[in-house]
Amino acid sequence: MFRGDESWRPRPEGLAPKERLSEESMSVRTERKQKLLSLEEAVSLIPSGSAVALGGLGLYGAPMGFVREMIRQRIRDLSLILSPGASMQADLLIGAGCVREVQCSYIGFEDLGLAPNFRRVAESGKLRIVDSDEAHVVFGLRAGAAGAPFFPLAEGMAGFDVARVNPNYFPIQDPRTGKTHLCVAAINPDVAVIHVGQCDHYGNARHLGSRFTDLLMAKAAKKKRIVTCDEMIDLSATQKEPHLTSVPGYIVDAVVHLPYGCHPASSPGLYERDEQHLRSYLKRSASEEGFRQYLEEFVLGLSPAQYAEKIGQERLRLLSQRGT
């Protein structure tokens, strides 16, 4: 471009007349896409054989309602990617025969005991277990979320046992210093499923308590990111208090309104875990026959509304009082 060429200068009204956008075309370009789906529609997005990351930590923030629908739709051959501590969300799927592989550092019921189905199936040799630890899960997801192939760990983190048995750990030499660092390979699930307290129709989600590894899972997922929530909020609420958004809508593919979607786990800030139900589950799941009876009673053939009715509205109300 020559200095004497004035064609580069902006026109007084911005674009040339033929380039200006009409109000109609501008509204089309800026229109937001609502992402609200039914539970059945959202679960149908996950084909058998997928690598699925399930959010939450232990008995908190677990997407239990979504897991029950996965079992009803008979999704099989899953590779589960779990937060550093998982519980019933994994145990239920494993017991129902939906899982071929699990990446985990812990699956259990915390102070209530071990995970009966996970233990039984693991001891039978029918489940492939990728021994992991917190560093593998968190930094592997962090690398996946950043689009990086791996994450180098700090000096001094080499030499622990998990790194010897987990093939996703490997050493690499820093080309600047010559020092060797242990690295963890990126984790990129096909699908991430997380549960939050609140979400708007466009996928802007709010955790009302701890956020766990949920955002990392959503960012690292390659194909679909699904959010279930206890409460729907208006977009105006998101715009009024944007700092409360913990998972931005632009990375979310589907939203499911699922009140009490964590039960019998806890949804932080809304309701506490149902210890009575959890103890009953553990007792019944001590045998395969007892677990099958649990599935028949609380999972198979029950819609979310029917499940809530079976638990009892008074029981759910008491859990809500304790959780807030």
Domains in the chain (CATH in brackets) are 39-132+188-323 (3.40.1080.10), 150-185 (no CATH)
- pLDDT per residue as tens digits for the range 233-278: 999 999 999 999 999 999 999 999 999 999 999 999 999 999 999 9
Confidence at residue 129, expressed as pLDDT on a 0 to 100 scale: 95
C-alpha closest to that of 150 among 182, 179, 174: 182
- CA separation, residue 185 to residues 36, 108, 243 (Å): 34, 25, 31
Q: Which two tokens stand for residue 307?
A: 């499940």
DSSP 8-state assignment for residue 171: E
CB atoms closer than 10 angstroms to residue 170: 13
Cβ atoms of 230 and 261 within 8 Å: the answer is: yes
Q: Which two tokens stand for residue 30?
A: 């800026």
Query: With a cut of 50, which residues of the chain have pLDDT below it?
Result: 1-12, 14-19, 21, 26
Give dist(CA 260, CA 269) in Å, integer. 12
C-alpha closest to that of 85 among 140, 119, 132, 50: 132
Whether the CA torsion 57, 58, 59, 63 is positive or negative: it is: positive
Confidence at residue 2, expressed as pLDDT on a 0 to 100 scale: 40
